[in-house]
Amino acid sequence: MMIFRHFFTNKGTGDILFFKSLVFGILIWIFFHLVTPLDVVNPLSWSTIMYIICNYLAIMGGYVVAKVCFRNKQVKEEKVVVGGAFFKVMLILILTSSLIRYVDLFFVRDVSFTNAISSNKYNLAQAENFSIVLGLLGSLRILYFVPYLFYTIQKKTNLKLLVICLLLFLVPMVEGYLRGSRRLIFEPIAILITIIMVFNYTKLFSKSAILVTLLGLLLVMPISNFILKERVDQWSSEAFLERMQKAPYNKFVPIQASTKDFILEHRNNWKGSVAFNAVHLGQYITHGVYEFDYLQSQKPTKKKGLYNSFVLVKLSNKLGLTKIPLDSLMNPTGRVTYITFFGGQFLDFGWFSLVVMFFYGGIQNRAFIFGEKNDYLKPITVVFIFTNVFLLVFNFMRAQMLVVLILYLLMYVLLRTFESRKLRMKL
């Protein structure tokens, strides 16, 4: 009953945040599916529906079982707050890493604001432009959200520090703009909204929380629209219609004919732009489940964990430790589209993913429980909340969130060990 009592607030325990993140993600998908004027070409198969339901039950079951198994293991009552030195070192490291990343992009990999998106993508794909040293030194940039999270938790009031923390969210967004990647634009905005909603407001649907969400969507839409325009050679009605008809999403969830006509009729004014961006956002959020349904029907060969570990495999190849063909870890249907988190699990493990999700739920339980009293673990809980919300949309663990968890835990262990040794030396 406690979970339902606090569902529409951000009060309560980690248990509430865990279950709320899962339910909220389902509601988001259902909402966009209902309000977006789309035609469903093929209804979801019962196999896909049951697979998704069973995996949701597995992650919930794992969470509950872990809670029961560890119910007698006491968590320290005293609050562990982030030390000032830890905060400063993390901020400096992330800022430095971000600077190195853009030095790499602009001066080594020939990326430029004046280039077309296609040119930037081509330059980034060239092996001779890649530096393993710069790549590793720039890896900490993906922890861009950590300083703002610590700033929010500690309720700091330093305006200059706040501006610096917020500017870090532009690090992936600018790169996304240069590369034509809407994920790199959507992700930081969504994480920022997650932090604000969880740690700033007591009510999930307060005016301030709704305003922040709307502002985030308003920021995503024009940038997404620009990227799409860049991918169309001519912004004529014929080219635009062809783009809409050939977009990957349209194979399974095409725009309804009446809406398509409205967009074309008003393509040169704000009505057409708003309608197109709203519909495209709905396609972006809902199509992954149908892509997964199609993937499942093709009976692909299982990747045994390598698909979700794509970023780690790519790094291992660069270091010369492995020689796994990256093409073998792409969507086997040949479609360049998102297949949801569950699609990644199915591609790696099939129905054995229920075991993986069960343990994944147990790991989340430990993270949420310890995160209640230990602010150092808050970045881990934010990653879990964020990925839980978008299980039906993206596979963020394959993208980079798995690396985020590994890097943050590594930095946490190293910096905390250094702090402890330094304290012992003083004593």
Phi, psi at 42, each rounded to 5°? -130, 125
Q: Is the pLDDT assigned to residue 1 strictly greater than 80?
A: no
Q: How confident is the model at residue 338 (pLDDT cuts 50, 70, 90)?
A: confident
Question: What number is the average pLDDT over the span 68-90?
Answer: 82
Q: Is the pLDDT assigned to residue 4 strictly greater than 80?
A: no
Amino acid identity for residue 84 in this structure: G
Which range among 50-59, 184-193, 345-354, 412-421 shows the weakest confidence by mean pLDDT? 412-421
Q: Can you give the pTM of this predicted structure? A: 0.89
Output 359 or 244, whichever has higher pLDDT: 359
Question: What number is the average pLDDT over the span 304-316?
Answer: 88
- Give the C-alpha separation, 28 to 420, whole Å: 44
Output 6 or 367, whichever has higher pLDDT: 367
Q: Locate 361 and state its tokens.
A: 């739920």
Share of the chain above pLDDT 70, in %: 84
| Residue burial 19-53, b: 16+ Cβ < 10 Å; e: rest | bbbbebbeebbeebbeebebeeeeeeeeebeebbe
> Taking the CB of residue 106, how many other CB atoms lie within 10 A of it?
13
Q: Name 398's Cβ contacts closer than 8 Å, sequence gap at least 6.
A: 307, 308, 309, 310, 311, 344
What pLDDT shows up at residue 31? 93
Q: How confident is the model at residue 191 (pLDDT cuts 50, 70, 90)?
A: very high
What pLDDT shows up at residue 244? 60
Question: What number is the average pLDDT over the span 4-18?
Answer: 60
Output 295 or 250, whichever has higher pLDDT: 295
Output 233 or 377, whichever has higher pLDDT: 377
Query: What is the distance of C-alpha 387 from the center of its chain?
Result: 6
117-165 confidence digits (pLDDT tens): 889 988 888 878 888 889 889 999 999 999 999 999 988 889 999 999 9
What pLDDT shows up at residue 46? 96
- Give the C-alpha separation, 384 to 72, whole Å: 24
Q: How confident is the model at residue 74 (pLDDT cuts 50, 70, 90)?
A: low
3-state percent helix, strand, coil for the chain, nearest multiple of 5: 75, 0, 25
Q: Is the pLDDT assigned to residue 293 strictly greater than 80?
A: yes
Question: Please, are residues 246 and 223 in contact by the beta-carbon 8 Å criterion?
Answer: no
What pLDDT shows up at residue 218? 67
Q: Is the pLDDT assigned to residue 201 strictly greater than 60?
A: no
